[in-house]
Structure 1
Amino acid sequence: MLKRYFLTGLLIWVPLVITVWVLSLIIDTLDQSLRLLPSAIHPKTLLGFALPGVGALLTLAMILLTGLLAANFIGQKLVGWWDQLLLRIPVVNSLYKAIKQVSDTLLAPNGNAFRKALLIEYPRRDAWTIAFLTGAPGGDLRNHLSGEYVSVYVPTTPNPTSGFFLMLPKSDVVELDMSVDEALKYIISMGVVAPPPRPYKTIPAKNPAS
């Protein structure tokens, strides 16, 4: 009986403590942006005490203001000029271009970075994992791959931001009847938070010709 109560208490407190810890870590990290402000207008100087979360609010406000300015004609011209400037700097240009391409793909409102949830055999035969369809191989890769291939991203767990990029024959992947969000939750929880069951879709057999 005591064991059941203890486990029930853990199920309540563990998600709460982890959530608070992650939020505090994010706020503390964003608060470091206050170091960029002159001491005369620093919130601690103006208020007389440190106020947690001010850096996070200022960072969010700066991001929103940048997006607002970049949405008009003048802002787009300034962003284009800034991109051209960075692309002219040696070493910086290759790094900035690669990061910008990835961020445009993942963060664009009309983007489709993870298109579908897939089931693939990885890292060996009869061992299965969830992957995400990201597209199809392009460029010179097409000249070296015979048949129809797809590009997939295999995330690690419980941190899906790291993983492996693979190119597989389309016939070797199985499309799952679950959303990308459901698949991500399943991966992050290490299989604990499973998506709701769905009826297996079968293709009706054709009537034999009489």
Structure 2
Amino acid sequence: MTSRIKNSFVAGLVLIAPLAVTLYILQLLTNWLLTVVDPVVAWLGLTQTTANNHLLAQALTTGLIVSGIVLVGYLAQRQAGQRMFGNMGRIIDFVPLVNVIYGSVRQVANSLVDHQSRYESVVLVEYPREGVYSIGLVTGEAPPAADSLAGDDAVNVFLPNSPNPTAGRLVVVPDDQVHEIDMSVRAGLRLVVTTGIGEDHSPALRELPADD
């Protein structure tokens, strides 16, 4: 019992810590930018055209943060930026705890952004028992040895954990036991990450495959 509580605490900490750190950093950045933008707004005399000086400063700060994120994303797509962020990532790898948080955030982000190159389609697989279906992501065709064992063509299906899709298990499933659904890979990953909370589910999930 104690072991289960400990494992649950660690799992929850790993999932919550990245979000908490991100929000904390954004708060620090916002507060710092406000100390810079507030005097600029007053100096430019913009208070004459708006009833709330602080509100205008917050709007400008939000715009600066969004622009900064876009700039970082633009640089990350260029060779020089990739080298810079690559060196930064290697430095972070040497920092205890920070490297774990940074690594988990980066893996989740890569899974959500680079989904098309990683997965082919979203499917339902009858797992872990008959009558219960798990959301899976087809990663490719199974090895020939698996085909001969299954007695039919088979595919590799990754069953992601929820709410952390970077972990899960790989199963080899015969083609006739893989049920394709009308859902994009992005929507499937979002469903896993949010654990289905607040999602407008596809009719494909409500119309589960009927038993033969």
TM-score by length of 2: 0.51
Residues 152-173 of structure 1: per-residue CA shift (max 9 Å, x gap): 23576xxxx5578233332284
3-state SS, counterpart of residue 90 of structure 1: coil
Indicate which of 28, 33, 43 corresponds to 1:37. Answer: 33
Aligned residues: 153
Q: Percent identical across equivalent pairs?
A: 20
Q: Structure 1 stretches of 5 or more lacking a match? A: 1-28, 138-145, 196-210
Match of 1:167 in 2: 170
Alpha-carbon distance in structure 2 between the residues aligned to 1:72 and 1:133: 30
TM-score by length of 1: 0.51
Indicate which of 177, 189, 194 corresponds to 2:200. Answer: 189
CA deviation after TM superposition for structure 1 residue 128, in Å: 2.9
Alpha-carbon distance in structure 1 between the residues aligned to 2:121 and 2:185: 10
For residue 65 of structure 1, what is the amino acid of its counterpart? L
For residue 200 of structure 2, what is the amino acid of its counterpart? S
For residue 119 of structure 1, what is the amino acid of its counterpart? L
3-state SS, counterpart of residue 86 of structure 2: helix
Larger Cα Rg: Structure 1 or Structure 2? 1
Q: Does structure 2 retain, via aligned residues, the 8 Å contact 1:106–1:112?
A: no
Q: Does structure 1 retain, via aligned residues, the 8 Å contact 2:123–2:179?
A: yes
Alignment of 1:1-210 (within 5 A): 32=27, 33-37=29-33, 39-42=35-38, 46=42, 47=47, 48-51=53-56, 53-108=59-114, 111-134=116-139, 150-153=156-159, 161=163, 165-171=168-174, 173-176=177-180, 178-180=182-184, 184=188, 188-190=199-201, 193-194=202-203
Alpha-carbon distance in structure 2 between the residues aligned to 1:70 and 1:189: 33
For residue 75 of structure 2, what is the amino acid of its counterpart? L
CA deviation after TM superposition for structure 1 residue 62, in Å: 0.8
CA deviation after TM superposition for structure 1 residue 60, in Å: 1.9
Alpha-carbon distance in structure 1 between the residues aligned to 2:187 and 2:71: 33
3-state SS, counterpart of residue 152 of structure 1: strand
3-state SS, counterpart of residue 117 of structure 2: coil
Residues 46-100 of structure 1: per-residue CA shift (max 9 Å, x gap): 4513146545433321111112333444333322221221122233334433432
Q: Structure 2 stretches of 5 or more lacking a match? A: 1-23, 48-52, 143-148, 205-212
Q: Which has the higher helix share?
A: 2
Match of 1:3 in 2: none
| Structure with larger RCO (C-alpha < 8 A, sep 6+) | 2
Residues 17-74 of structure 1: per-residue CA shift (max 9 Å, x gap): xxxxxxxxxxxx9984522325132489645131465454333211111123334443
Aligned-CA RMSD value:
4.3
